[in-house]
Structure 1
Amino acid sequence: MFRGLHTINLDAKGRLAIPTKYREPLSALCHAQLVATIDTEERCLLVYPLPEWDTIQSKIEALPSFNPAARRIQRLLLGHATDLELDSNGRVLLPQHLREYAELEKECVLVGQGKKLELWSKSLWHSRRDEYLEIVSQPEQLPDEILSLSL
């Protein structure tokens, strides 16, 4: 459902407008209800339609809480999970703690990832994208599954 890259602006109140092409599908899929949480590997946010998040949350909750690594993931992902709702103008309000984690300022990038979106600071995204492009140019660093794809 989500693909492509969109440059969007965060306003002074911490609101960002979801791209128009996603608004109607989100209304139909999840009644404009989203969940945002931190990415534990990158300084970005993961934004899920509520039904997709519910599936992820069930899996996270099922992890063994006596396993320290699993417990850390539960604390980070569930602890930062925040309900968001599109307003009548197609905007969502991001809480300060999520904006700080992802270093979000005025210019942001929304990156489609199929069933979810990633929200990045524009400068962090450009830096990370360039690093990814460098890695992709070195086939020995790619997983075998990627090498078997035909583009």
Structure 2
Amino acid sequence: MTFRGLNEHSLDSKDRITVPAQYRASFADGIVLMKGVERCVEVWPAKAAEEMEATTLGRLNPMSRDARRIQRRFFAHSESVELDSAGRVRLSRQLIEHARLDGRCIVSGMGSRLEIWSPDEWFSEDEENEQLTPELTESIAAIQQPASPGGE
């Protein structure tokens, strides 16, 4: 499944957030919560997180201090969790503080994962992204080879 769109949600008094119903089946095998690079919480289906970790973080050279630092940043600050019977997931205090969550939340689709943002952080990031879109599009086009029409 590809995660798309924006949804507004709230943290309840037990620091739980309801996962949008259309996405719950994607999390049947578990969820990995991670500190986002920006001030958000990344919500990965367990299998997608394992694949991402194996193909990116797991391939870094353990003899490199920078590699160890980035691995530590992601692995030490991630948690494996399950949806409860009501389709909610509990966020740790560490993740809530990182994302500056306080009540209302924005859940953003990011293709392979979801992100949870405070509204203030989301709108600030989204505004900056809007301004940078032409520049980012050109930069990414320069480093990514387009797929051939036949998929070869």
Aligned partner of residue 101 in structure 2, secondary structure? coil
Deviation at 1:8, TM superposition (A): 0.8
Deviation at 1:24, TM superposition (A): 3.0
- C-alpha distance in 2 between matches for 1:68 and 1:43: 24
Cα-to-partner distance string for 1:14-62 (whole Å, 9 max, x where unaligned): 10000111123433xx2xx10011122x111111000011112223133
- C-alpha distance in 1 between matches for 2:114 and 2:34: 11
Deviation at 1:144, TM superposition (A): 5.2
8 Å Cα contact 1:84-1:94 kept in structure 2: no
For 1:124, the aligned partner's letter is: E
Q: Which runs of 5+ in 2 are unaligned?
A: 147-152
TM score, norm. by length of structure 1 = 0.85
For 1:72, the aligned partner's letter is: R
- C-alpha distance in 2 between matches for 1:76 and 1:91: 25
Percent of residue pairs bearing the same amino acid type: 35
Matched, 1:117 2:118: no
- C-alpha distance in 2 between matches for 1:24 and 1:121: 25
- C-alpha distance in 2 between matches for 1:25 and 1:83: 15
Deviation at 1:140, TM superposition (A): 4.3
Aligned partner of residue 52 in structure 1, secondary structure? helix
Match of 1:13 in 2: 14
For 2:31, the aligned partner's letter is: L
- C-alpha distance in 2 between matches for 1:49 and 1:140: 31
Matched, 1:43 2:64: no
Residues 10-89 of structure 1: pairs in structure 2 closer than 5 A: 10-27=11-28, 30=29, 33-40=30-37, 42-59=38-55, 60-89=57-86
Cα RMSD for the two superposed structures: 1.9
